[in-house]
Structure 1
Amino acid sequence: MSTGTIIEVSASNFREVVLNAEKMTLIKFYFEACKPCKELNPILDELAQEFSDCLVIGSLDIEESKENNKVFKNYGGHYAPTMLLFHEGLLKKKLKGRTLEELRKELSELKAV
């Protein structure tokens, strides 16, 4: 599904893209005016290339619709950016890293499991 690019996710395709995905799926919940959210973009682009064999990375704009915001809230979202890792239809982990090195380490540890 992923070729190392970040895909747009919404409430309407969340089940298909995230919950039914064969690979682990990392979703960045963001909103357009969020500076820290934008700062993650080049980091996630790099990680999408590096982990393309085992990970799909997507982003969901929490202000685009009420439905998107509801998905965010359903998974405990309180602030943006929030990055959640899903696998086999379940929320597996909230990623805490904000730098390339921190996120690479978190993902490498999960890949090794």
Structure 2
Amino acid sequence: MAVLKITSENFEQEVLKAAQPVVIDFWASWCGPCKMFSPIVDEFAEENEGKVKVGKVNIDDEPDLASRFGVMSIPTAILFKNGQAVQSMVGVQPKAKLEEMVR
């Protein structure tokens, strides 16, 4: 499953109303650490297809979403369960940390 591009328009449907856990990567194109984290997120999404929904929010395109969830540094990964943000991680993390977060 491809990583979803999350926007203000599809956030409620794809994240808040999702039946399974959702991991969102908040990033920006100018962010070096985000470029390092992106392939880790992509691999995590591929390996957890059907169990976890994975999306990315470009904070330059969606500043309201970043502000809504208090994203101050990027990359930030936030786990949503049942429409609620339940856990977050800041900075480049190994894939094992993402897997640990959704357990």
TM-score w.r.t. the length of structure 2 is 0.89
Q: Structure 2 residue aligned with 1:6, among 3, 8, 12?
A: 3
1:78 alignment partner, SS class: coil
Are 2:69 and 1:69 aligned?
no
Deviations 1:59-107 (A, max 9, x none): 001101xxx2111111111111111010111111113561123323333
Unmatched segments (≥5 aa) in structure 1: none
**Separation in 2, partners of 1:25, 1:6:** 11
Unaligned runs of 5+ in 2: none
How many residues of Structure 1 are paired with residues of Structure 2 in the alignment?
A: 102
AA matched with 2:22: T
Identity level (%): 25
Among 88, 92, 98, the alignment partner of 2:93 is 98
TM-score, length-normalised on structure 1?
0.82
User: Runs of at least 4 residues of structure 1 off by over 6 A?
Assistant: none
1:48 partner amino acid: A
Deviation at 1:42, TM superposition (A): 1.3
> What are the residue-to-residue correspondences of 1:1-113 with 2, within 5 Å?
3=1, 5-64=2-61, 68-96=62-90, 98-107=93-102, 110=103
